[in-house]
Protein backbone atom coordinates (compact mmCIF):
# COMPACT_ATOMS: atom_id res chain seq x y z
CA UNK A 1 0.00 0.00 0.00
CA UNK A 2 1.22 3.47 -0.88
CA UNK A 3 0.06 6.87 0.28
CA UNK A 4 -0.70 9.64 -2.23
CA UNK A 5 2.84 11.08 -2.22
CA UNK A 6 4.42 7.64 -2.77
CA UNK A 7 1.96 6.92 -5.57
CA UNK A 8 2.87 10.21 -7.26
CA UNK A 9 6.57 9.36 -7.07
CA UNK A 10 5.85 5.95 -8.59
CA UNK A 11 3.83 7.50 -11.43
CA UNK A 12 6.56 10.02 -12.22
CA UNK A 13 8.97 7.12 -12.79
CA UNK A 14 6.88 5.95 -15.77
CA UNK A 15 8.69 6.47 -19.08
CA UNK A 16 7.82 9.86 -20.52
CA UNK A 17 5.96 11.09 -17.41
CA UNK A 18 5.30 14.83 -17.42
CA UNK A 19 2.81 15.15 -14.56
CA UNK A 20 1.06 12.99 -11.98
CA UNK A 21 -1.83 14.13 -9.81
CA UNK A 22 -4.11 12.60 -7.21
CA UNK A 23 -7.26 14.73 -7.00
CA UNK A 24 -10.70 14.76 -5.42
CA UNK A 25 -13.48 15.24 -7.98
CA UNK A 26 -15.96 16.25 -5.26
CA UNK A 27 -13.90 19.35 -4.48
CA UNK A 28 -11.47 19.65 -7.41
CA UNK A 29 -8.59 19.81 -4.92
CA UNK A 30 -5.17 18.32 -5.51
CA UNK A 31 -4.26 15.77 -2.83
CA UNK A 32 -0.75 15.20 -4.19
CA UNK A 33 1.10 16.14 -7.36
CA UNK A 34 4.43 16.37 -9.10
CA UNK A 35 5.22 17.70 -12.54
CA UNK A 36 7.81 18.93 -14.97
CA UNK A 37 6.46 22.42 -15.61
CA UNK A 38 2.77 21.48 -15.75
CA UNK A 39 0.01 23.45 -13.94
CA UNK A 40 -1.35 20.69 -11.71
CA UNK A 41 -4.06 22.80 -10.04
CA UNK A 42 -5.62 23.76 -13.38
CA UNK A 43 -5.29 20.19 -14.65
CA UNK A 44 -6.99 18.77 -11.56
CA UNK A 45 -9.85 21.27 -11.76
CA UNK A 46 -10.39 20.71 -15.49
CA UNK A 47 -10.21 16.95 -15.30
CA UNK A 48 -12.60 16.94 -12.37
CA UNK A 49 -15.17 18.18 -14.90
CA UNK A 50 -14.22 15.34 -17.27
CA UNK A 51 -14.72 12.71 -14.56
CA UNK A 52 -18.02 14.22 -13.40
CA UNK A 53 -19.31 14.51 -16.98
CA UNK A 54 -18.51 10.87 -17.71
CA UNK A 55 -20.19 9.71 -14.49
CA UNK A 56 -23.28 11.81 -15.32
CA UNK A 57 -23.42 10.42 -18.86
CA UNK A 58 -23.15 6.85 -17.57
CA UNK A 59 -25.98 7.55 -15.12
CA UNK A 60 -28.18 9.06 -17.88
CA UNK A 61 -27.54 5.99 -20.05
CA UNK A 62 -28.45 3.70 -17.18
CA UNK A 63 -25.03 2.04 -17.24
CA UNK A 64 -24.34 0.06 -14.08
CA UNK A 65 -20.57 0.09 -14.43
CA UNK A 66 -17.41 1.81 -13.21
CA UNK A 67 -14.81 3.85 -15.07
CA UNK A 68 -11.58 1.88 -15.42
CA UNK A 69 -9.71 4.73 -17.06
CA UNK A 70 -10.19 7.62 -19.45
CA UNK A 71 -7.68 8.28 -22.22
CA UNK A 72 -7.31 11.66 -23.89
CA UNK A 73 -4.93 11.57 -26.83
CA UNK A 74 -3.31 14.83 -27.85
CA UNK A 75 -0.80 15.41 -30.61
CA UNK A 76 2.20 15.37 -28.28
CA UNK A 77 0.84 13.95 -25.02
CA UNK A 78 -1.34 11.21 -23.60
CA UNK A 79 -3.55 12.09 -20.63
CA UNK A 80 -4.83 9.20 -18.52
CA UNK A 81 -7.40 9.42 -15.74
CA UNK A 82 -8.03 6.48 -13.39
CA UNK A 83 -10.53 6.61 -10.52
CA UNK A 84 -9.58 5.00 -7.22
CA UNK A 85 -11.49 1.74 -6.74
CA UNK A 86 -12.31 2.49 -3.07
CA UNK A 87 -13.83 5.91 -3.77
CA UNK A 88 -14.38 6.95 -7.39
CA UNK A 89 -14.43 10.63 -6.38
CA UNK A 90 -10.65 10.31 -6.00
CA UNK A 91 -8.74 9.94 -9.26
CA UNK A 92 -5.19 9.73 -10.51
CA UNK A 93 -4.25 11.81 -13.53
CA UNK A 94 -1.13 11.00 -15.50
CA UNK A 95 0.37 12.95 -18.40
CA UNK A 96 3.03 11.29 -20.51
CA UNK A 97 4.94 12.36 -23.60
CA UNK A 98 3.43 10.57 -26.58
CA UNK A 99 6.81 9.84 -28.18
CA UNK A 100 8.73 8.89 -25.03
CA UNK A 101 6.17 6.52 -23.55
CA UNK A 102 4.32 3.27 -24.17
CA UNK A 103 0.55 3.62 -23.80
CA UNK A 104 -0.02 0.02 -22.77
CA UNK A 105 2.68 0.15 -20.11
CA UNK A 106 1.51 3.55 -18.85
CA UNK A 107 -2.08 2.26 -18.48
CA UNK A 108 -0.90 -0.88 -16.68
CA UNK A 109 1.41 1.06 -14.34
CA UNK A 110 -1.29 3.65 -13.61
CA UNK A 111 -3.80 0.91 -12.80
CA UNK A 112 -1.30 -0.84 -10.55
CA UNK A 113 -0.38 2.38 -8.74
CA UNK A 114 -4.02 3.33 -8.16
CA UNK A 115 -4.83 -0.16 -6.84
CA UNK A 116 -2.23 0.23 -4.07
CA UNK A 117 -3.21 3.81 -3.17
CA UNK A 118 -4.20 4.53 0.43
CA UNK A 119 -5.76 7.78 1.60
Share of the chain above pLDDT 70, in %: 99
- The answer to whether the predicted template modeling score (pTM) of the entire model surpasses 0.85 is yes
Q: Is the pLDDT of residue 9 over 80?
A: yes
Number of domains comprising the chain = 1
Which CATH number is 102's domain given? 3.30.450.30
Give pairs for 76-82: CB < 8 Å, separation 24+.
77/18, 78/103, 78/106, 79/47, 80/106, 80/107, 80/110, 81/47, 81/50, 81/51, 82/110, 82/111, 82/114
- Residue numbers of the domain that contains 79: 4-115
Q: Pick from 69, 76, 111, 119: which is nearest to 96 by CA?
A: 76
Per-residue pLDDT of 76-91, as tens digits, reads: 999 999 999 899 899 9
pLDDT at 111: 95
Q: Is the pLDDT of residue 13 over 80?
A: yes
pLDDT at 117: 92
Amino acid sequence: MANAEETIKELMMIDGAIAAIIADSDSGLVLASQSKGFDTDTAAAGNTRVVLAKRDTMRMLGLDDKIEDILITLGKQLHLIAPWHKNDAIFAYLVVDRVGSNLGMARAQLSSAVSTLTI
